[in-house]
Amino acid sequence: MTLTLEKIRRFEMRGPARTKLLRLTSLIVCMSLSLAALARADVVSDWNAIAAQTAIPVRPGPSAILDLAMVHAAMHDAIQAYQRRFEPYSGPIPNASGSPIAAAARAAHDVLVARFPSQSGTLDTLLDNYLSSLGLQGDEGLLVGQQAAANILNLRAGDGSFPSNPEVFTGGTGPGEWRPTPPALAPMATPWLGAVTPFTLKGSVTRFRSPAPPSLDSGKYVRDYNETKALGSINSTARTQAQTDLANFYSDNFLALWERTLRGIADTNINNIGDSARLFALANLAAADALIAAWDGKRFYHFWRPITAIQNGNNDGNTRTAGDATWVPQIPTFTPPYPEFPSGANSLTGAMTRTLERLFGNKMTFSVTSNFVNQTKTYQRFSDIADDVVNVRIYQGIHFRTADEVARRHGTQIADMAFSHFLRPVHNHDDDDR
């Protein structure tokens, strides 16, 4: 059986479908990829699809963003060794020769092999078939890509990711404290993520920690509580069918959904691999830092999820939050295994949409596909999808509004800082479309 690149792009992680992820991992490990007949846009989108399918199904929580950020920083640097239109992330690579396409593919491959050594055989086959399909086997650009990957890997060595003995965090039992939620009752996923060295933020990530969630006796908490209780319940009579449909649409894995969306935007709107590589690198670097900062806040505040808050509403010290011991969210199996505040999905979405706004402006027609429901939505503004993601986590019953809004602002601010200080245009460059 042979996998095509389009199959890799389509067969992506679906929110609760864990068995599909296990089967997918086996497919990646056991099958080879034929790339003889590609419907490709460019090397960056192609290897984004490969990287996403290699990393997302097997990494806990959203931690695959670390792998994706490294892959795309390496690809950007490999291509800019030729074009020299934008600043490199890790440093210049002099005297580049051969094909930038070969260089970018090798850069992505080498980062992935270093991060997923058990998949090295499959990744080697992917690269060999990819280069063969383009007549680039043995190209001198492979050495450039090898150096770009080595630079990134060296830079990120000892960054605190994937510790050998991670903390097992189960929160607390007091009012407002997160604790494992049903049905899995699992400890916090990736509690170490907030301590990982950021990619673009200077200094400790704690400098960028979001403000605290509303206190349990505040009017804001009461409003948030009652809104999610009404709109996010499995048997809500307040949630409209359109809101339920939106909740189901965005029950897909958010990282896989956003990488898919970036590919669609790049394939439709960009015809220069340097511009494509910069888009993916900026978006994933900013998203990585937004999620690192979000996880710092989650672990520090360890604020409870709506299912815990509402089932224990009569014991939170606030007479305005009536409890319901039978309350469950819109998708009962969907509450993620980590604290509520701030929202990871909105941190990610804020970073992605702001990066896209900085590159293209707010108005652009683009599509978002959910593999969870096998549907596609078309948007006209990046701010519209950001609005939807704020609301949808309430409809799903897994967040309070403040966590969503704070996270969106936080992700936006981090993307602005990344865009202003990294991968900037180089003046007097040779505008080479190689």
pLDDT in the model for residue 253: 97
Residue 325 shares a structural domain with residue 264: yes
Report pLDDT digits (tens) over 13-57.
Answer: 333 333 333 334 444 433 344 343 344 559 999 999 999 999 999
Looking up residue 197, the CATH number of its domain turns out to be 1.10.606.20
pLDDT tops 90 at residue 233: yes
For residue 228, is it within any domain? yes
For residue 32, is it within any domain? yes
pLDDT in the model for residue 369: 98
For residue 67, is it within any domain? yes
For residue 173, is it within any domain? no
Contacts of 113 (CB under 8 A, 6+ apart): 119, 120, 123, 124
Residue 208 shares a structural domain with residue 103: no
Looking up residue 140, the CATH number of its domain turns out to be 1.20.144
Confidence of residue 4 (pLDDT cuts 50, 70, 90): very low
Instruction: Please compute the mean of the pLDDT values over residues 273-286 and round it to a whole number.
Output: 98
Query: In whole angstroms, how far apart are CA 168 and each of 185, 209, 256, 369?
Result: 13, 22, 26, 34
Last residue of a domain, one of 156, 179, 212: 156
Number of domains in the chain: 2
For residue 179, is it within any domain? no
> Cα–Cα distance between 182 and 275 in angstroms, integer?
44
> Cα–Cα distance between 85 and 99 in angstroms, integer?
16
pLDDT tops 50 at residue 247: yes
For residue 185, is it within any domain? no
Last residue of a domain, one of 134, 156, 178: 156
Better pLDDT: 11 or 356: 356
The parent domain of residue 294 ranges over 193-421
Q: Of 86, 213, 78, whose CA–CA distance to 151 is shortest?
A: 78
For residue 29, is it within any domain? yes
pLDDT in the model for residue 28: 42
Residue 414 shares a structural domain with residue 348: yes
pLDDT in the model for residue 40: 53
Residue 38 shares a structural domain with residue 145: yes
pLDDT in the model for residue 58: 97
Residue 220 shares a structural domain with residue 362: yes
pLDDT in the model for residue 163: 97
For residue 368, is it within any domain? yes
Report pLDDT digits (tens) over 77-133.
Answer: 999 999 999 999 999 999 999 999 999 999 999 999 999 999 999 999 999 999 999
Question: In the chain, what percentage of residues exceed pLDDT 90?
Answer: 87
